[in-house]
Structure formats: C-alpha cells, structure tokens
Structure 1
Amino acid sequence: MVAKISIGSSLYGALCYNGEKVNKENGRILGSNKIIIPVDGKADIGQMAENFRLFMPKMGKTKKPVLHISLNPHPDDRLSDQDFEILAREYLDKLGFGEQPYVIYKHEDIDRHHIHIVTVNVNEEGKRLNQDFLYQRSKKITTELEEKYNLHKAQREKISPDTPITKIDPTGDIKRQVANTVKMVGMRYKFQSMGEYNAILGLYNVRCDTADGRVNGREYHGLVYFATDDNGNTIATPFKASRLGKFASRTAIAGRFERAKEKIDVAPTKRKVADALSQSSGKDDFVTKLKERNIDVVFRYTDEGCIYGVTFVDHDTMTALNGSRLGKEFSANALNARFNQQPQPTEVAPTATVVPIPTPTNTTSESQSTSSAGTAPSPTQSQSAHSDSGDYDFTLLGLDLFQPGQSFNPDEEEFRRRMQKKKKGIRRRF
C-alpha cells in the first residue's frame, strides 16, 4: 500500500476536489470524525468546511494546516468499503491524527479503487501537531498494515532502458501513467523546444502546456500536463508538474533543451527524410515511408487545413527535430506547398476588340439600332459594366486604337519622356 501526503493551505480546495468526485457519482464518503455527513451521502462542501472551522477556530501561525492523504492498495487487493475505512482510521491513529476532524472518501473513477483523507494538522488551540519525520513514519505505518492485514507489499516500479512507452490507458491510474511517460521521454529522447517535446509526448496521448502568471504579486512559470485521447481531447484533470515530480518541472525540461544542443546530429534523420520525400507520391505516402524508416511525423494545421508546423520523431536516434532544422526543403512552408498544391488559373492575354466606326449618315438612328440590338454597347456603357463587375481589363470597346498594342515600343516611349523632361528643364532656366 502506498500513502501519499500533500500539505497545503486550502481546506476548501481539498474538500471541493473530493466532494465533486462524490457528487458526480465517481466516489463516496466512507466515514468521518467530528464532521457531519449528509444522510443522502452527498457532499455539502460549504457545510463541511464550516464544521472543520468549528473545531479549529484559531489557525495560529500555521500557513499550511491542511493534510490531504491518499492510501493506494495494490490492484490485486480487493477491499470492501468497511476494509478501507478500518485501514484509514488505523493509519490516522498511528500517525497521531486519530482525534483530528477528518473525512474519508473512496474514489471509484478508475479501476484501481483507493481512498483519500482530508484532515488538518492544527488542534483546537491553533497549535500545529507533530510533523517531524512525517513521511518516514507514514511509510513504517503502511508496512505494518500490509503485514497485519496480509496485503501486497508496495514495490517501487522500476523503469529500465527496455521498458516500453505506451499510450495512456483511460481505465488505469492516469496520473502514474502520465508521470512514467514524462519521465521516460525525458530520459530517452533529445529535443530543443516545447513543440518538439510535445511531438513526442503526443505519440503517447500526453500534452504539456506552459503556465505563466502572478499569484500574490509573485510571478510563476510552470508546466501543466494533460492526458488525452487519440483525437487530442483531454480525458482527466490536468496535473501540475509538481504533482508528477521534479523531472517534469519547467527547470528540468529547459535543462534538457540545453543539453540536447550538444548531442543532436541531424544528418542521419535528414538522410532518411530526404529519401522518403523523394520517393513519395503524396503526404499519406510520405507518412507511410517515414514509418518504414522508424520515423513518426507530426503535422500541425491551421483552421484552413494548411500546414504551419512539422516535427520528425526519429526513434532510431531518439531525436525530435522540427522540419526547419533539417533544411528549408523540409520546413512546414515547403511541405505545405508540396502537398497542398492548388491549380493556378491560366492567364489569358487580353485581346483587342475592333468595333467599326459608324458612317456620318444616319449616325443617331444607327447608334440607337445597334444599342437596342444589344450587340455593340457604347463606350460609356462598357466602362460602367467593367466598373460594376470589378473586372480590371481596361481595353475599352471602340477605343482600342489608343491602347498599347504590338506597335508600342517601350524604348521609344522612354526616349520621348526623357526629351519632354529635358525641354521642360530648358524652359525653366529661361
């Protein structure tokens, strides 16, 4: 059995976390001490918080008076609700918190059922209880309970170089799986940016986001980890890096960025990607050929479906590389142009239309007749039509003789302009 102890300042936060599990039918309240439990079994979080305050009206100088403890038996230990409650009460008695106000919750949101205990480490006078060697004492107590009740002994999970990294199993212990994935990815792979880091984590349904802000006037910069499904949707409450371990912290990951710069050799990956790209007939074929070379490629798309980012994860060299690190021809822009080509409209050169000029006789009647027939609109009508339609072909019907045609010589025109400027300059002097 594994006991995990968190010491914090927010009593309401601990009660709310567990109360929501109960009220969403993902848990139940097994028992309490000095705290009133509703008859219907629901968690009245506000009333519970008030009960706690009645028994500890003075908080004194203790800044973190809340203990949030979880007891996690081995998955093969099948315990009843009564067994869980007996273990929790005996554990608290041996730890020295048996007379404190507390609530025992059972969580059933994952296959491995376990219990949480919320209590406080200050007495009614506001004095802090003995917390010396708290974790060592806790470990000794769980060992004694394992022997007394014939439970499986807790064994620390060992991670070897051969331990496979697998996708998150929603029915298992999600926090433990996320922690193991983050630890093994950090141990084995080389990456130099958050995008490359997330490209690897995403293969195993984990995502990492940066968290920056201010709390009580102080800046904080951390990381938050998410368990996802195959479509990238979050499937569990996110975990702060501090809940997983120091190996998951922003400082640790930034250190891996720096160390990777000296170790990464892009040449092997570049050769394989270039070879796959030269033989591929399209994007899907490119992805397939990369997998044959033990490389996963992660594309990032805009809402319009354009590729704006690409990362190659080479499982042979254990390296993640953004496309631009391999060369311009492997960048997101280059691959988007290659795989998302749109046929360009063929430009047709405008052709001059010659309209016969009417003879002076009967000009008005012929013009009216031509206009009513709808075959040759007047120049004014043509200008209006082009303006309304947004068509910027400036060839005006009936006036094409004044448009630059094959007889237009740009060199002669330039010479003429220079001569005009020269004449203007001479006139200005005189």
Structure 2
Amino acid sequence: MIVQFLSSNSRFAAIKYNADKVSAGKAELMCVKNFQSLSVLDKPKPSDYRSYLRMIGALNPKVKNKQLHAVIMAKGHSYDKRQLTHIAGLWLEKMGYANNPHLIYFHNDNTNNHVHIVSVRVCKNRKSVESRYEKLRASLALHQLIGFDPVAQAEMDYSKAITYQFTTLDQFTILLKTMGYSAYIRATTLYMVRHSRSIRKVDLNVINNIIKSYKHNSVEVSALKQAIELSLKVVSGTPVRHPSFWHSYLRKNYKSDLSEAFREKLNIDIIYHTKGGDVIGFTLINHRTKRVYDGSEILDFKRLVRPLVRPEGFFQGDRIIFYDDQKRYQPNNVPNLAVKMSGGAFDSENKMARRGR
C-alpha cells in the first residue's frame, strides 16, 4: 500500500476532479467530515465543498498552497472501499487533519483499489498543518496503520533481486524499479530508496560479481524473439504513456498491449526507456528464468514499436488464434505462448508454432 501527494494549489481543483469521477460512475463519495455550516443543506454541491475549503484556507494568507490532495492505494483488491476509507480517516488523524474539513472518495477506475483524500492545509484556529518531512511522515504513518515493515520488505526484495542475472548496473537498478525502488550510488555503495528514504545499502562488489558471472543463453534469447515476433502479429508493441496524470511515478511510465500481454501471460516485463520525452529503447525481464536483457539483444526497437495496422488474430488465454483470409478462425493453428522452463531455457510443446502449421 502506498500514499501519494498530488497537487497542492489554492483553487481546490481536486473537488471538481473527484466530482467528475463520481458523475461518470468511476468514484464514490465515502466520507464527508467537519463541514459544519454545510449541514443545513440537504444535498451540498461540489461547489459548496470547494467554497468552504477556500474559506478555511483564507484564514491563513501565509499558506500559499492550501489544498491537500492525497491518494492511498492498495495492491489489487486486497482492501475494499470501506477498509480504505477507514485507513484514510486514521491517516488524516496521524497527519494532523482530524479536525479539518475533508472528503474521501473511493475510485473504481483502476486495477488497484484506492481512495482520494481532499482537505485544507489550514486549521480553523488559523494555524497551518505541519508539513515538514511530509512525505516521510505520511509513509511512516500509513505503515504503522497497516503493520507494514519496509525495512524487512527491502531485505526480502534485495535477496530476491540478487538471484537474477544481468550484465550492467543499470539493469540491476531497473530490476529494483520494478519492485518499487529508486536508487543512488555513493562511493562503493548503492542505496535502495522507497517512501522518500534510504532503506537498504547494497555493496557494489556483490553486484559486480553477479555481472562477471553472467552466462549468455542463446536458446532463451531465440525463444524470446520468436515469442515477441509472433505476438506482434496480434497486439501492438507501440508504447503509450500511462493515462494517470495525478501519479508522478505512473506519469513517467509507458506500456503497450504487448507489454501488458507478456506480463499477464508469461510473467515477463517489458520496460520502455525515455529520453527527452521520447521512447528510445527497452529492457526485458524474464521473471521465470530470472534474467534481465537489453532489449536490443532480443529485437530491433523499431520493429518492436512499429504500429500494428491489421491484427492477424487474437489471444485466447495463453494461445494465439489466427484468422484465415476471410477473417474466420483457424482452430488448428493455435501457437501456445505458455512456456515451460527446462534447464534455464525456453521449451514449449510446439516450439512456438508458426502461422500455417
């Protein structure tokens, strides 16, 4: 579970954003607290909530960015809307917002259940809510509420990461990123960072030894290339930026129909890399064999991102069913992409069957 701070302006645009989601059937207003003067209204409008928050914010002109807009997100559906709303309420208390007017919205437009919290950074006694080390305090507060130990989790993730094979330090940091960590290096030490703080130190000598012990697997590289080539006949590898504009991490992420299919069906991550706003390459991580590849070793990047004009078939589970020339199914032509590991190499029953077999 994570907590993310969003825009902190003084217009309280978060009210309209969440109200629009409610109107579209993609969100639900779960909690309204401490809007005392609005209690006389039968059905307060979003504009009423916004005006009230702006009125409280005006009590302290020194606070420039008066809006609190935060998200608490669970993994998948591990927490339902009521559990998340309860946690959000307790989190607001720990952060000093217990007596401030606030709203909590549950959103159902994401594969991960999450709530949006909207409040004001000024108290009714004209004092501002404490904001020093806000991100760190927010994560610590959330972890206390759910009984999560980030240090223990980092230790487990590190132990898992060093079982992978890779050829560069950059590939190791990309692997850490898929686990939710950023990293920085000081002298001979890499620091794993999460929730705005350094959680674990990594001796670079350990990483360098893994790099030196890397052994090329031409059989797996060939199988991966065949799997991608085959899949590109039915899904696109053209990367699209994540549509979530409010989450700073997701905003930098690109995905494609191909990357989504590979993650779901083969437990393989395709990570697109950007430079100056352009996508310039990719890294492939095979979690089944625990190997990290520079994408250029597998397939030419231009081939990967070439637009798919006319799909030749579709996925059915972990199989691809192709059309014939009349757009009819070819039931005898169903290449199976569900691969089995044998001696560290790919081995499928039909050897990645080609179209027409």
| TMscore range, shorter length | 0.3 to 0.5
The structure richer in strand per residue is 2
TM-score (norm 2): 0.45
Larger CA Rg, structure 1 vs 2:
1
The structure richer in helix per residue is 1
Larger relative contact order (CA 8 Å, sep ≥ 6): 2
